[in-house]
Amino acid sequence: MARNVVLLCLDTVRYGYFERHADDLQAIADHTFEECRTASTWSVPSHASMFTGVLPHEHGFHSATPTFGDLDREDTFLSDLDRFQFIGVSANPYASPVFGFDRLFDNFYHAESSMPYAEGLSPSKFWHESSTEDWTRYIEFLEACVRHNHPMKSLANGVASQTEKLFQKLPMAKPFDDGCKRILSRTRRILDESEQPTFVFVNVMDAHGPLTNVRSYDQSLIAEEHRNCSPDIDALAMNMDETFDEYEENIAAYRDLYAAAVEYTTRRVAEFCRRVDDDTAVVITADHGEQLDDGTGERRFGHVTPDAAEALLHVPLAVVNADLAVDESEPISHLDLGNLVTAIATETEFEKCQPLAAEVAGLGVAHPPTDHEDFDYWNRVSRCVYLNNGADKYVWDSMGTARHYGQVNGEYVLEREGGPELVPPNATAPFMTDIEDARTEEKTTYVDAAVESKLEELGYL
């Protein structure tokens, strides 16, 4: 017996914000796991671990310009889903054809936030390839739309692209979201038209920066002085140079918009779940969380620094339309996510078998600032393991620093700090290589100026 499964990734949504702002989704979920941890802290290694069930030093995807085309379906849990069709719908450029991620699927739809019609001309690609700088480039774009196989959809993409930029400058909420509604509608159509068991991977990026207020957001979550602004934060520079105080107001606005984005996205997902047939199960999680300089640990913002912080590793995991024999309060790793999806899809028993471990190898950016005086520290490898059913957390790095945290009232509190000798042997057991050898030889993909611009906008350059 087989059934449809949707694996829905709420990109960049951390657990604490999900717990506080996802009331609609939690109300209809059959299972909501309280202690789910990712295997890494940013998109590339995390997505690879979600599908392969192994840690980053084993799958080797660390680069900010990865070659997912080298990842075969046989290397993922998809190989366990016999006679299924595999479809992807994603807003994340890393989980897209740009980096070969679509090779895992029979059909794939990359939904750019400012490009409502994937069949049409890509405005960002056109702008970067255009040789003109003045108003004539718009004439060129119109002419290109006319020549395109989908002229009206190409024109609509152009309008959406310019409108997106306009609302980032205007003192008002924009009337459309960053792709969530469109992606979920596409996913529903896929399921409605499917005539065989189907697995759909969905990535929604509405909670990923840059953030701008949206008319459909719950405005009560956003302070009045933050409703008409688009925070401009250079997260990498702010972290490395410790200039948080200079961005204080922008960070406060970002936190408000982030909360509203999480509430809106999960509300939309709850509506989607109510409308799918009972034979379709939906597994909701996130590839990583987000650091918001909110007093939950060291002063950090974003998710491209190699920190094994709870704000990054602790993510939601909820299941709709499936009945599992599980203890939702016990820790569970993303390394077991494939086993969970397979058990639901094939209606077999789910058993956790993977350790609660995570790893991140260096900065998650394509062009790291190698000339920074503290570059070695910021580009270190960090590893993390939870022991004793999550009661103890060990974090160590390639700089020779180790920390032991104990769980107190649901929070991890630093108990000891020292060198590698602080880490017990059973904590290092999940790792097949020494930490100094964690960075496997990286295979990278060439990306054009349009893709680089998008990665820069998302904070990955």
Whether residue 165 has pLDDT greater than 70:
no
Whether residue 62 has pLDDT greater than 90:
no
C-alpha–C-alpha distance, residues 408 and 392, integer Å: 10
Structure confidence at residue 137 as a pLDDT band (50, 70, 90)? confident
Question: CB count, 10 Å around CB of 409?
Answer: 5
For the segment 15-44, the average pLDDT, to the nearest whole number, is: 97
Tokens of 104: 């895992």
Supply the pTM of this predicted model. 0.91
Please state the domain extents for the chain: 4-113+178-458, 116-177
Highest mean pLDDT among 21-25, 59-63, 177-181, 457-461: 21-25
pLDDT at residue 380 in the model: 96
For the segment 33-54, the average pLDDT, to the nearest whole number, is: 97
pLDDT 10s digits, 210-234: 999 999 999 999 999 999 989 989 9
Whether residue 123 has pLDDT greater than 80:
no
Structure confidence at residue 459 as a pLDDT band (50, 70, 90)? low
Instruction: Say if residues 109 and 89 touch (Cβ distance below 8 Å).
Output: yes
pLDDT at residue 297 in the model: 83
C-alpha–C-alpha distance, residues 258 and 93, integer Å: 20
Q: Taking the chain, what is the end-to-end CA distance rounded to the nearest angstrom? A: 46
User: In 3D, which of 266, 189, 244, 368 has the Cα closest to residue 32?
Assistant: 266
pLDDT at residue 117 in the model: 76
Q: Which CATH superfamily is domain 4-113+178-458 in?
A: Alkaline Phosphatase, subunit A (3.40.720.10)
Q: Amino acid letter at 152?
A: M
Whether residue 135 has pLDDT greater than 60:
yes
pLDDT at residue 318 in the model: 98
Question: Does residue 459 or residue 409 have the better pLDDT?
Answer: 409
Whether residue 115 has pLDDT greater than 90:
no
Whether residue 201 has pLDDT greater than 60:
yes
Whether residue 42 has pLDDT greater than 70:
yes
pLDDT 10s digits, 320-330: 999 999 999 99
pLDDT at residue 461 in the model: 59
Buried b (16+ CB within 10 A) or exposed e, 159-191: ebbeebeebeeeeebbebbbbbbbbbebbbebb
- How high is the mean pLDDT of the chain? 91
Whether residue 160 has pLDDT greater than 90:
no
Question: Does residue 134 or residue 150 have the better pLDDT?
Answer: 150
pLDDT 10s digits, 414-438: 999 999 999 999 999 999 999 998 8
Structure confidence at residue 282 as a pLDDT band (50, 70, 90)? very high
Question: CB count, 10 Å around CB of 295?
Answer: 6
User: In 3D, which of 107, 116, 71, 75 has the Cα closest to residue 89?
Assistant: 107
pLDDT at residue 382 in the model: 97
Question: Does residue 157 or residue 187 have the better pLDDT?
Answer: 187
For the segment 126-147, the average pLDDT, to the nearest whole number, is: 76
pLDDT at residue 35 in the model: 97
Whether residue 257 has pLDDT greater than 70:
yes
Q: In the chain, what percentage of residues exceed pLDDT 70?
A: 90
Question: Does residue 117 or residue 395 have the better pLDDT?
Answer: 395
Question: Does residue 148 or residue 269 have the better pLDDT?
Answer: 269
Structure confidence at residue 451 as a pLDDT band (50, 70, 90)? low
Please report where in the chains the tokens 């180790």 appear, as a residue: 402
For the segment 387-392, the average pLDDT, to the nearest whole number, is: 96
Tokens of 291: 């650091």
Whether residue 443 has pLDDT greater than 60:
no
Please count the CA atoms within 13 angstroms of the CA of 435 that sit on its side-chain side: 23
Structure confidence at residue 113 as a pLDDT band (50, 70, 90)? low
C-alpha–C-alpha distance, residues 443 and 445, integer Å: 7
Whether residue 353 has pLDDT greater than 60:
yes
For the segment 255-266, the average pLDDT, to the nearest whole number, is: 98
pLDDT at residue 218 in the model: 98
Whether residue 445 has pLDDT greater than 70:
no
